[in-house]
Amino acid sequence: MASQKTLPLWLLALGTGSAVMGITLITPALPVISRDLQIDPNRVQYLLTAYLAMLAGGQLFYGPLSDVFGRRIFFRMGALFITLGGLFALMVTDITLLTLCRVLQGLGAGACISMGRTMVNDYFAKEDAAKAMATVQTIQAIVPMLALIFGGTIVFLFGWQGVMGLIFIAGFILLLGSFVFLPETNPSTGQSLQLATVINGYQQVLTNPVFVSFMIVSSLQVGAFFTMNAFIPYAYEAIGVNSLAFGFYFAMTPVGYVAGNLFNRLYMVKKGVAIATFTGCILAVTSLTALVFVQLSGATEPLAFALPCAAFGFGNGLTVANATIGGISAARANAGTASGLIGAVTMVVGGVGGAVVIALGAADNVQIGFVGILAMACISLACIIHILRKERKAKKVA
């Protein structure tokens, strides 16, 4: 631990939650922006695309830099970018300038989310870090859920500018909090940054089998959730569930995720990071297998879909925090690089997974989507079994 100052988990959770909030909060505003700025809806989608590209790419940039120059400066930089991106967006009436504001917001969110994960790993021992990460993930899940619930209300009352105003406020809270409460967990080494150093850092983490296995588990589990978001509305629509009822039933999935994180914090971390991850993967495979059979059976009861989805969310709550900490801690001196890589790969897998299953016809045949995410869960399970075997061999040698 680099500082005796207490690490404010609420601030790191808000920082990591801001990344997803930047997606969910703006979604109900997109049609309004299209109408107000008289822009084609396809072009308005660039506001999401640009944000996601910077969110993923930025993490690859900040991670190696933080290994050399420290974490706090990049968290502050990210908070500043979010603040300025929200403030400038309040002033523009041009889609190009608004897109540039979203680029700035995405770069800021990328810094906050990658530094949040890495600082938890720096500050705590491995099992304690998994416990702390579960707390961060719980709050992180609640922030975008609230954004999704109230985003439409904000747009209705204040227009799309209300969304940008809320992003500005969130960024300002992060910025102020980083100066008042946030300690440095990885003081600058005083080294100069060289391209060879960055390349060597990525080479070390990518040739570390434990890191790679944990990264695959984390990215595929989160990716499966985002992939599910792309096609699950069609499954409910096929059994006659309207959009209002769908929101209720599908909300059981993130609620399960929050419950899984709480259970992980209170109990599973005591079993060890790998065991907790394994348990979550088993639950994910079991629940997704159940969904496949529910779909094959022709069931029309919404709870027949909602309950396995909630179990999948619970499993994710056990898996994601532990796999993330397991991967970052395995990277040791390259923790920032590892955190950025995990975040970027997760974003790519989530985005590509949803696009692929829809392209394969999941909108018309949701069985394709269920089988796709089940395959992702099975690969995750195979990876964590590989890690457990390596740990057992290491114990026997010792």
b/e sequence 266-285, b meaning 16+ C-beta within 10 Å: eebbeebbbbbbbbbbbbbb
Distance between CA atoms of 387 and 17, rounded to whole angstroms?
29
- H helices of the chain, in order, are 9-24, 30-36, 41-44, 46-69, 72-89, 95-123, 126-158, 160-180, 195-206, 209-238, 243-250, 252-266, 273-297, 302-331, 335-359, 366-397
pTM of structure: 0.82
| Cα 281 to chain centroid, rounded | 17
Residue 79 has pLDDT above 90, yes or no: yes
pLDDT value for 349: 85
pLDDT band at 46 (very low <50, low <70, confident <90, very high): confident
Torsion sign over Cα 338, 339, 340, 342: positive
Query: In the CATH hierarchy, which fold is given to the domain comprising 202-397?
Result: Growth Hormone; Chain: A; (1.20.1250)
pLDDT winner (highest mean) among 49-53, 146-150, 208-212, 358-362: 208-212
pLDDT band at 1 (very low <50, low <70, confident <90, very high): very low
CB-based contacts of 72, cutoff 8 Å, min separation 6:
115, 119, 178, 182, 183, 184, 185
Please, how many CA atoms are within 13 Å of residue 114, restricted to the half-sphere of its CB? 40
Residue 117 has pLDDT above 70, yes or no: yes
Distance between CA atoms of 289 and 224, rounded to whole angstroms?
13
pLDDT value for 389: 93
How confident is the model over 63-70, as a mean pLDDT? Answer: 89
Q: Which of 97-101, 159-163, 181-185, 243-247 has the lowest mean pLDDT?
A: 243-247
Q: Which CATH number fits domain 9-191: 1.10.1370.40, 3.40.50.261, 3.40.50.720, 1.20.1250.20?
A: 1.20.1250.20
Distance between CA atoms of 355 and 384, rounded to whole angstroms?
26
Q: How confident is the model over 188-222, as pLDDT tens digits?
A: 666 667 778 788 889 999 999 999 999 999 999 98
pLDDT value for 44: 85
How confident is the model over 132-146, as a mean pLDDT? Answer: 77
pLDDT value for 2: 47
pLDDT value for 119: 94
Q: How far, in Å, are 45, 73, 301 from residue 281 at the CA level? A: 33, 35, 26
Q: Residue 137 in contact with residue 321, Cβ under 8 Å?
A: yes
Domain with CATH 1.20.1250.20 in the chain: 9-191, 202-397
Which residue matches tokens 């995990």? Answer: 342
Axis crossing angle, helix 46-69 with helix 195-206, rounded to the nearest 10: 100
Distance between CA atoms of 229 and 23, rounded to whole angstroms?
13
User: For all residues of the chain together, what is the average pLDDT?
Assistant: 88
Residue 4 has pLDDT above 60, yes or no: no
Q: How confident is the model over 288-328, as pLDDT tens digits?
A: 999 999 999 988 899 999 999 999 999 999 999 899 999 99
